[in-house]
Amino acid sequence: MLTTMALAQMPDVWHRQGLFMGMHWAWWLFWIGTGLMILWAFWRLAADRREARRDVARMRETEAALRAKYARGEISQEQLVEGLSAMFAAPLSTSRATRGEG
C-alpha cells in the first residue's frame, strides 16, 4: 500500500517542479541559443584562420614570383621594392574588404 501511494504521488511531484525539474521553456531557449552562439563563434574562428593561412600563402607566392623576376633580370631593384611595398600595403583579403570586416 505504501508503494502504491508513493507511485501515485510521483507524477504529481514531477509536475509541480515544472518542465524537466524546473527547467522551463525560456531556460531551454536560453541554453540552446547560447550553445548555438558558441558553435558559431568556433566556426568563425576556424574560417578566419583558414582565410589568414590562404592570405599568407598568397603573399609568399607573390613574393617568390617577384624575386624570381628580379633574379632573371626582368625587373629592376626599384620595381622589386615597389612591388613588395605594394603587396604588404594592400588589404589582406579582398573578400574581407567586400564583407566590411577588414
Whether 102 shows a pLDDT value over 50: the answer reads: no
**CA 50: distance to chain centroid?**
9
For 86, the domain range is 2-99
Contact by Cβ (8 Å): 83, 66 = yes
As a whole number of angstroms, the distance between CA 81 and CA 68 comes to 13
Contact by Cβ (8 Å): 102, 91 = yes
- pLDDT at site 22: 59
pLDDT, one tens digit per residue, over 5-28 is 555 555 555 555 555 555 667 778
> Nearest-CA neighbor of 14 among 23, 2, 26?
23
Whether 94 shows a pLDDT value over 90: the answer reads: no
Alpha-carbon Rg for the chain, nearest whole angstrom, is 31
Overall domain count for the chain: 1
- Kindly give the residue spans of alpha helices, DSSP state H, lying in 1-102: 2-16, 25-72, 77-89, 94-99
pTM score of the predicted model: 0.45
- pLDDT at site 51: 86
